[in-house]
Structure 1
Amino acid sequence: MKATKIVEHARQLLDAHGDRAEAEAAQKAIDLDAKGKVEDAENWRRVRAAIHEMRPPHVS
């Protein structure tokens, strides 16, 4: 999947799920790995990483 699609998916997931977006993407990757869809799972790990980069840092 191209980088632009990764960012697009990440932004949509972040808009739809907010703070749960990163966990949603990670779970999708786990589910796809379990089904043997390694390439699709890797794309979802890239989406998760993009979400992580988009989120503001946590302030204590």
Structure 2
Amino acid sequence: MDAIQTAEYARALLSAHGPKAEAEAARKMRESHDAGRKSEAADWAAIRQAVTERRGPSQT
């Protein structure tokens, strides 16, 4: 998956799941890893990172 696709998936996840988008990406990453789909798990890890970056810093 290229950087543009990763960014598009991250944007879509944030739009669909809001603040739970990172957790959703992590869940999909774990499911892919557990099923032995390492390439897909790596894609979800990149999407999770992109979600984190798009969200910005945590506010307290």
Same fold, judged at TM 0.5 (above): yes
Give TM-score scaled by structure 1 length.
Answer: 0.96
Corresponding position: 1:36 with 2:36: yes
Rounded Cα–Cα distance in structure 1 between residues aligned with 2:59 and 2:4? 29
Q: How many residues align?
A: 60
Give TM-score scaled by structure 2 length.
Answer: 0.96
Once the two structures are superposed, what CA deviation does each residue of 1:35-59 show, in whole Å capped at 9, x if it has no partner? 0000000000000000000003222
Structure 2: tracts of 5 or more residues without a match: none
Rounded Cα–Cα distance in structure 2 between residues aligned with 1:24 and 1:47? 10
Once the two structures are superposed, what CA deviation does each residue of 1:10-51 show, in whole Å capped at 9, x if it has no partner? 000000000000000000000000100000000000000000
After TM superposition, where is structure 1 displaced by more than 6 Å over at least 4 residues in a row?
none
Rounded Cα–Cα distance in structure 2 between residues aligned with 1:59 and 1:27? 24
Percent of aligned pairs with the same residue? 42
